[in-house]
């Protein structure tokens, strides 16, 4: 089954003014939609990062895929390496404040998922079966809570989102209630480092009081010092399930881990297989937040699961602003990893647009059902794709910049870390 065409379509979709330690989300988030078409006209799809450097890399690789068999993953790896270099690095934001990563893993992943979609379509099985089978029928996700502004600055053409302003612990509690009531989430995570640590501790205590059976997490994206982290952790001992990337660097994590009784999770200090030996040796980060988009695809993420199991590391899943194709790929791989036992992160409830047929995916009791349809289980809506591609053409900016966006609200905003 030979590839005859690869299409890349950058898109932009509406995103609310969500706050993090470095700044605020812009009115639109970007992604790139990948379509791989075979000689018989069958199309496999995927969704990946929408930053310019990823797009340039993918566009450089795409011609080398023509003529390749969709089952030939070694051939795909060679095509990626030969096109951009195996160790190619490019500036690219993986999380607020985390830049630069090998391009190979995320480029390979971008095409691997589309090939797996095709393979699944051809053999009539869902992708999770190609990964070894599913260990659960539905994948649980956590409510991703954000402090946020009530509307975007300088963007009169975007509709203000329905959530309004959330800048106090009380408003955050309302946000959590709404998320849980709408989607049934059974875990809650706060994007932290926005209010003072004292206010965020108060918010977490309110959440715990209201949702005593929901595991709680905080992610300040390196926004705290070691001392602040230890204070927060002591204040929330017995309340937090894990603390995510509180302070920068493994040395900081070691000092923190020695002083607190809450496990540290990371999607910033550990972002590739190359990082794992040091993480295992340091024994400070105990939970890896996987993400198939930059760990090298669905099969690589499954291999990560086995490594975590061997070394006694926990495994959960990170997310960026994304649409339904990514959510479905995350669901297949999460279903296929026996030890992915934490509820996964997702930004999906914050989005209103999508590019899939049949409209947006629905959570049931906080879960996405693992599809039994062949391949990914979702198809592209070409009219929506065109519409969001038009958005991208009109939305003039190349890469996500939360710091610059925040300066529209607060001109002296520095966005430097640690903040507290
Ligand atoms: Mg994170």
- Report the CATH number that the domain containing residue 110 is assigned in CATH: 3.30.390.10
Rounded to the nearest angstrom, the distance between the alpha carbon of 76 and the centre of ligand 1 is 29
- Each residue's pLDDT tens digit, 105-134: 999 999 999 999 999 999 999 999 999 999
Rounded to the nearest angstrom, the distance between the alpha carbon of 191 and the centre of ligand 1 is 8
In a domain, 228, yes or no: yes
Rounded to the nearest angstrom, the distance between the alpha carbon of 271 and the centre of ligand 1 is 11
In a domain, 409, yes or no: no
In a domain, 76, yes or no: yes
- Each residue's pLDDT tens digit, 305-355: 999 999 999 999 999 999 999 999 999 999 999 999 899 999 999 999 999
End-to-end Cα separation, the chain, in angstroms: 55
Q: Does 164 lie in the same domain as 103?
A: no
How far apart (Å, rounded) are the C-alpha atoms in residues 218 and 200? 9
- Indicate the helix (H) or strand (E) that contains 43: strand 43-49
Q: Does 364 lie in the same domain as 239?
A: yes
134, 152, 318, 347: the active-site residue: 318
In a domain, 206, yes or no: yes
Contacts of residue 337, defined as CB under 8 A and 6 or more positions apart, other chains included, come to: 135, 301, 302, 305, 315
Query: How does residue 75 score in pLDDT terms, banded at 50, 70 and 90?
Result: very high
How far apart (Å, rounded) are the C-alpha atoms in residues 36 and 65? 9
Q: Does 223 lie in the same domain as 166?
A: yes
Neighbours of 156 (CB within 10 A): 7
In a domain, 413, yes or no: no
Q: Does 319 lie in the same domain as 204?
A: yes
Provide the CATH number for the domain around residue 163. Answer: 3.20.20.120
Q: Does 34 lie in the same domain as 179?
A: no
Q: Does 264 lie in the same domain as 117?
A: no
Query: How does residue 90 score in pLDDT terms, banded at 50, 70 and 90?
Result: low
Rounded to the nearest angstrom, the distance between the alpha carbon of 289 and the centre of ligand 1 is 8
Q: Does 166 lie in the same domain as 39?
A: no
Residues with CB in 5 Å of ion ligand 1: 219, 244, 267
Residue 418 CA from chain centroid, whole number: 22
Q: Does 165 lie in the same domain as 75?
A: no
Rounded to the nearest angstrom, the distance between the alpha carbon of 248 and the centre of ligand 1 is 12
The values of phi and psi at residue 154, to 5°, are 65, 20
pLDDT exceeds cutoff 60 at 242: yes
Tokens of 419: 């903040």
pLDDT exceeds cutoff 90 at 95: no
Q: Does 191 lie in the same domain as 176?
A: yes
Could you tell me the residue range of the domain that residue 251 belongs to?
130-376
In a domain, 109, yes or no: yes
Whether 318 is catalytic: yes
How far apart (Å, rounded) are the C-alpha atoms in residues 299 and 132? 10
Q: Does 189 lie in the same domain as 321?
A: yes
Rounded to the nearest angstrom, the distance between the alpha carbon of 172 and the centre of ligand 1 is 19
25, 134, 189, 191: the active-site residue: 191
Range list of H helices, 66-152: 73-84, 103-123, 127-130
Rounded to the nearest angstrom, the distance between the alpha carbon of 36 and the centre of ligand 1 is 31
Of 8-22, 54-68, 83-97, give the lowest mean pLDDT range.
Answer: 83-97
In the predicted model, what is the mean pLDDT of the chain? 94
**Dihedral over Cα of 366, 31, 83, 5: its sign:** positive
Let me know the angle formed at the C-alpha of 322 by 317 and 327, rounded to the nearest 5 degrees: 55
- Looking at residue 91, its pLDDT comes to 53
How far apart (Å, rounded) are the C-alpha atoms in residues 128 and 320? 22
Rounded to the nearest angstrom, the distance between the alpha carbon of 221 and the centre of ligand 1 is 6
Name, of 87-101, 269-283, 324-338, the range with top average pLDDT: 324-338
The values of phi and psi at residue 282, to 5°, are -70, -30
The number of domains in the chain is: 2
| CA-wise closest residue to 340 among 31, 134, 107, 81 | 134
The values of phi and psi at residue 274, to 5°, are -60, -25
Rounded to the nearest angstrom, the distance between the alpha carbon of 67 and the centre of ligand 1 is 38
Query: How does residue 395 score in pLDDT terms, banded at 50, 70 and 90?
Result: confident
- Each residue's pLDDT tens digit, 21-30: 999 999 999 9
- Average pLDDT estimate for 37-56: 95
Q: Does 120 lie in the same domain as 141?
A: no
Q: Does 336 lie in the same domain as 275?
A: yes
Rounded to the nearest angstrom, the distance between the alpha carbon of 5 and the centre of ligand 1 is 35
In a domain, 28, yes or no: yes
Rounded to the nearest angstrom, the distance between the alpha carbon of 245 and the centre of ligand 1 is 6
Listed in order, strand segments (DSSP E) in 97-226 are 98-102, 138-140, 143-145, 188-191, 216-219
In a domain, 407, yes or no: no
């Amino acid at each position: 089954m030979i590839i005859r065409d690869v299409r890349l379509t950058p898109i932009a979709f509406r995103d609310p003014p969500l706050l993090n330690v470095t700044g605020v989300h812009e009115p639109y988030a970007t992604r790139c939609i990948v379509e791989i078409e075979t000689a018989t006209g069958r199309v496999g799809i995927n969704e990946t990062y929408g930053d310019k450097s990823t797009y340039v890399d993918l566009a450089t690789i795409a011609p080398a895929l023509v003529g390749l068999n969709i089952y030939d993953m070694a051939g795909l790896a060679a095509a990626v390496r030969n096109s951009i270099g195996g160790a190619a690095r490019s500036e690219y934001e993986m999380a607020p404040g985390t830049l630069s990563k090998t391009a190979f893993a995320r480029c390979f992943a971008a095409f691997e998922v589309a090939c797996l979609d095709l393979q699944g379509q051809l053999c009539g099985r869902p992708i999770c079966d190609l990964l070894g089978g599913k260990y659960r029928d539905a994948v649980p996700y956590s409510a991703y809570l954000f402090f946020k502004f009530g509307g975007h600055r300088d963007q009169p053409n975007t509709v203000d989102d329905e959530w309004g302003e959330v800048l106090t612990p009380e408003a955050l509690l309302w946000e959590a209630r709404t998320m849980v009531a709408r989607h049934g989430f059974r875990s809650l995570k706060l994007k932290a480092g926005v209010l003072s640590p004292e206010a965020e501790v108060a918010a977490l205590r309110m959440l715990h009081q209201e949702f005593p059976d929901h595991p709680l997490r905080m992610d300040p994206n390196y926004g705290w010092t070691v001392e602040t982290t230890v204070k927060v952790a002591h204040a929330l001992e017995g309340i937090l399930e894990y603390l995510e990337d509180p302070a920068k660097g493994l040395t900081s994590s070691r000092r923190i881990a020695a002083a607190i009784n809450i496990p540290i999770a990371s999607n910033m200090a550990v972002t590739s297989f190359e990082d794992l030996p040091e993480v295992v040796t340091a024994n400070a980060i105990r939970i890896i937040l996987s993400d198939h988009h930059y760990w090298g695809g669905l099969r690589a993420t499954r291999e990560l699961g086995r490594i975590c199991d061997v070394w006694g590391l926990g495994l959960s899943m990170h997310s960026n602003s994304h649409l339904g194709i990514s959510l479905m790929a995350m669901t297949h791989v999460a279903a296929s990893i026996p030890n992915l036992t934490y509820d996964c992160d997702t930004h999906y409830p914050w989005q209103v647009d999508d590019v899939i047929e049949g409209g947006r995916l629905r959570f049931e009791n906080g879960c996405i059902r693992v599809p039994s349809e062949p391949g990914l289980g979702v198809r592209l809506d070409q009219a929506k794709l065109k519409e969001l591609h038009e958005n991208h053409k009109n939305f003039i900016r190349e890469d996500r910049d939360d710091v610059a966006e925040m300066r529209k609200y607060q001109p002296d905003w520095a966005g430097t870390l640690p903040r507290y």
